[in-house]
Structure 1
Amino acid sequence: MKSKSLFSIKCIVCCIVLTLGASVLLQAQTQEFLYGDMLPDAPELSERGSYTVGVRTLDLLHPDQVDILNSKAGKEVMYDRPLTVEVWYPAEISSGTEALVTYNEVMGTRGDSLRPLIPFTFNGRAVRDAAPKASEKAFPLIVVSHGYVGSRYLMTYLTENLASKGYVVVAIGHTDSTFKDANAFQSTLLNRAKDIRFVINEMERLGKSDSKDNLSGKVNADNTAIVGYSMGGYGVLNVAGAGYSDGMVQFFKGMADGSTAIQVLAASNAEYQNRSDPRIKAVVAFAPWGMERGVWDAEGLKGLKKPTFFVAGSQDDISGYEKGIKAIYEGAINADRYLLTYTDARHNIAPNPPPKEALAPGLHIDEYYRYADATWDQRKINNVNQHFVTAFIDAQLKGKDTSKYLDIPENSNAQDWPGFKPRSSTGMELLHAAPAE
């Protein structure tokens, strides 16, 4: 009799467990999958942090800049350069408030009749204009720079994720380089690094204790990481110490009617050599553009001394791999550096997944391939990026010991990587090289 009762209790418990499990599964199936959410095989550090995320838009003005698109040979025109940035941060949210925000974006490229601008929206897990987290010390700063063309919303899967882990994250909308306002390429070449440096300065100003902004006391710009994708990678490497080559300066002069404005960013310029920024503690460069075009030479790459995490696709057909991104990694001999490679991926190893609007028939294929990769599930790439960027930046900016996630032996796909679900870490390679100095 006793054994029958025990059996009955076990059956009841099993039914409860199965019912709860089915409920959780049903909830997971019916809940909208938002950019950055975890897939079942997402690695450990891709999980969001403990902070609810706030988000706000800021309009900044960088005074007295060279207006390269309206300058002529021997006569540079100056202007106040506008920049719109998006800021994600740990927020003070009242109980019962759902962390949900709608981002307004466009597909297409301005002025391209084959790719007209098409507005669309997508949701994220943040609260618009929420108050910053109270009673907390200042948070480390992360500045994010998109590709050409792109937008400040191109990598929300990562910006939201990092903010939830205790960072103030600022994504720049680079004027003349977004979907909405794409313009001649020389503006991107000249302004990318300058925009990044200016935004660091602005966030430091807004985060000071005597600032009247609501970010006052919340931003520790002395503890900064910079993240860039494609042309953003081109920019962050220069800000971090990899000065452009003299060949690049000559190339720019040819594009910009003889302007020497980019000379200030060249490795051979003494002024540039004295601009090392001690606030920058870490660099993440997704598919950085330029090596195959002579943007850097051996001497310029020696100037990169900040810890750097490179991410690449082995079939990148925009920035190149062996003679492009991997060559930068190998040439940056004075930096403690990593190179994560997605086997057979092309250039799009950083953006959000394609929006559903990009799946509509009749659109230019580039609306889809602005985001998607031909081989990899973009959601998988997003989760892996979250994991490794967290491990790297947490180590550099917060002093956390994340070495078990980063110290992965070469040719290790035969075994599961630390932090990855069983059988889920194939198709990637992670290299590490210590600085020569």
Structure 2
Amino acid sequence: MRKRKIAAIALGITLVGAGAAAYVASPTIHAGQTGEAPELGRHGEYAIGTSVKKFALEDRTKITTWGAISGNLTDTDRELSVRFWYPAKTGNGDTAQYSHVMRPPGKDPVTISAQGVAVPDAEAIAGQKYPLVLMSHGFGGWDTQFSNLAEQIASHGYIVASINHADMPIDGVTSFLLSFGNVLVDRTLDQRQILTQILDDAQSGSHTYAAQIDSGNVGLIGYSMGGYGAIASAGAPYDFANDPMSNIPATARTVMEEALEKPLPIKSLVTFSPWGGQPDSRAWTADSIGKINKPVLVIAGNQDDVVNYEEGVKWLFENMTGSDRYMLVYREARHNIVGNDFDLEADGNFTTAEFLKEPVWRSDRLNAINQHFVTAFLDMTLKGDASKADYLNVPTADSNDSNWPIGFGEQLNGKMADAEQSDHWKGFQRRWAVGLEMKRMEKKP
């Protein structure tokens, strides 16, 4: 009996060793791509170029210290830069290095950078049309903070335009209040004016990549305060009855109300951790949120303590009753669920890390999953690719309940779920769809 037991153990060790050897010896089935990225979270078929253009925004105002007291706004010339990514003829050449200087209040400036794959000013592919995706960052963010997401979307056949909103720098409580007050006014107005000018450029063909734009298929992506602006840009008028919206000077409110009366040609909306749903700073009524009639993808962490996941983000999602919508939820994640995986100094100040990083989730993992679902959603809503709905209409609301049986000793080596694994989240590797939830709601008839 003892000999049989020892033999069985030896056989088990042999099988495990053989399986491990086979795993190491065989190349992954997705050569050249990170093994753990889900299927659509990988670079697409297009080489991409990138360039920057400045836009002058007319008839704008600014809240100053005196203006906040008196209610009188200062007229200002507002000029913003927009970073574009677009399908290019070739990817040959030096690739872009995206650098930014963060200036945390009371701390030394911190320079952070990300290596891109796009080639600056590469020649655009002529004679082709691609959907346009406008991106809008959060409070204190910048245009290339999500360059990884922008590059990946562009590589799948999109023109991506990321606004640099140039939020007022913060060095104390007063400057914070002024900066945030201007963001409340500026976000949707920036989005509206810049989108209008980009579409005008598309009509005139003034730039090669602008001539690539399919003006009939426009998507909008907003993070945090960019999401706040994007929700309004997508058709939800603000409610100025509650704080802090009620503190916006009357002149600015009038401008915002007049702008929101003009519909934008947006067909698809993605919001990451959107601000404005939380009860203590609610920017809309349930009725106004229900006026959005475009498909929506909301992405959030269920421990978000900045925009209040339970009473804020969920409230927004549930009250978007005029749209077919999805909500991807990262369990145990807080607010910073999107953005480049920046390398920070080991002894750097914590303020920078807290602004950019998640305490539980790795940034590179978040990026790969975001890219997967955003690509599926945009392909479905802007390109009319109905097959991409299979990636969003997951078989189990909780990814941990996904089921993918395998035989004893079977090595999958990075295989991603397809139609044959119908009980598993499509495009994810076995055991790798964890910690996620997908909620789906249809618009009211």
Query: So what's the TM-score if we normalise by structure 1?
Result: 0.83
1:436 paired with 2:444, answer: yes
Contact 2:220/2:230 (<8 A) preserved: yes
Cα separation, partners in 2 of 1:433 and 1:316, compared to 1, 3 Å: same
2:427 is aligned to 419
Residue 369 of structure 1: how far off its partner (Å): 2.1
* Match of residue 352 from structure 2: 367
**Whole-Å separation in 1 of the counterparts to 2:206 and 2:215:** 17
Within a 5 Å distance, the mapping from 1:135-146 to structure 2 comes to 135-136=127-128, 138-146=129-137
- Structure 2 distance, partners of 1:177, 1:431, is 36
What is the CA distance between 1:118 and its match in structure 2? 2.1
Contact 2:83 2:143 in 1 (8 A): yes
Q: Which amino acid aligns with 2:292?
A: L
- Aligned Cα RMSD in Å? 2.6
Aligned to 1:230: 224
Q: How does 1:320-339 map to 2 (within 5 A)?
A: 320-339=308-327
Give percent identity, aligned residues only.
32
Of 276, 279, 282, which residue of structure 2 is paired with 1:290?
A: 276
Q: Tell me the equivalent position of 2:407.
A: none
1:101 Cα deviation from its structure 2 partner: 1.4
Residue identity matched to 1:414: D
Give the structure 1 partner of residue 158 of structure 2: 167
Q: Which residue of 1 aligns with 2:167?
A: 176
C-alpha distance after superposition, 1:273-309 (max 9, x if no partner): 64222x2100000000111112122122111211110
Maintained 8 Å contact 1:339/1:430 = yes
| CA deviation after TM superposition for structure 1 residue 412, in Å | 4.8
Q: Is the 8 A contact 2:63 2:181 kept in 1?
A: yes
Q: Aligned in 2, Cα 1:219/1:369: closer, same or farther, shift over 3 Å? A: same
Unaligned stretches of 5+ in structure 1? 1-17, 29-36
Correspondence 1:189 to 2:184 = yes
Residue 201 of structure 2 aligns with which residue? 206
- Render the CA deviation track for 1:371-427: whole Å, top value 9, x for unaligned: 211111111110110010011110110000212111113235221311110011111
**Distance verdict in 2 for CA 1:125–1:99, change over 3 Å:** farther
Query: 2:36 is paired with a residue of what secondary structure?
Result: coil
User: What's the offset of the Cα at 1:77?
Assistant: 2.4
Contact 2:72 2:251 in 1 (8 A): no
Paired with 1:120 and 1:272, the residues of 2 have a C-alpha distance of 36
- In the alignment, is residue 410 of structure 1 matched against residue 397 of structure 2? yes
Distance change in 2, residues 1:410/1:389 (3 Å): same
Equivalence for 1:126 = 118
Match of 1:61 in 2: 56
User: Mind listing any 5+ residue stretches in structure 2 that lack a counterpart?
Assistant: 1-20, 403-423
Instruction: Give the whole-Å Cα distance in 2 for the aligned partners of 1:251 and 1:122.
Output: 35
Once the two structures are TM-superposed, the CA of residue 99 in structure 1 deviates from its matched residue by 6.2
**Structure 1 partner of 2:95:** 100
Give the equivalent residue in structure 1 for 2:300. Answer: 312
Classify the secondary structure of the residue corresponding to 1:324. helix
CA distance in 1, matches of 2:88, 2:430: 35
Partner of 2:138: 147
User: Match of 1:7?
Assistant: none
Deviations 1:53-109 (A, max 9, x none): 100011111011122237733533222211011000001227xx2462111212333
Post-superposition Cα deviations, 1:174-219, rounded to whole Å, max 9, x if no partner, equal 02257999862111100000111112112112222x3332334211
Change (3 A) 1:273 1:179: closer
In structure 2, do the counterparts of structure 1 residues 229 and 299 end up closer, same or farther at CA, with 3 Å as the change threshold?
same
> Could you tell me whether the CA contact under 8 Å between 2:136 and 2:221 is conserved in 1?
yes
The alignment partner of 2:205 has SS state of coil
Instruction: Give 2:85's aligned amino acid.
Output: W
Give the alignment's TM-score, normalised by structure 2. Answer: 0.82
Alignment of 1:334-353 (within 5 A): 334-353=322-341
What amino acid sits opposite 2:110 in the alignment? I
Counterpart Cα distance in 1 of 2:284 and 2:197: 28
For residues 12-34 of structure 1, the C-alpha deviation after alignment (integer angstroms, 9 at most, x for no partner) is xxxxxx9xx87979xx9xxxxxx
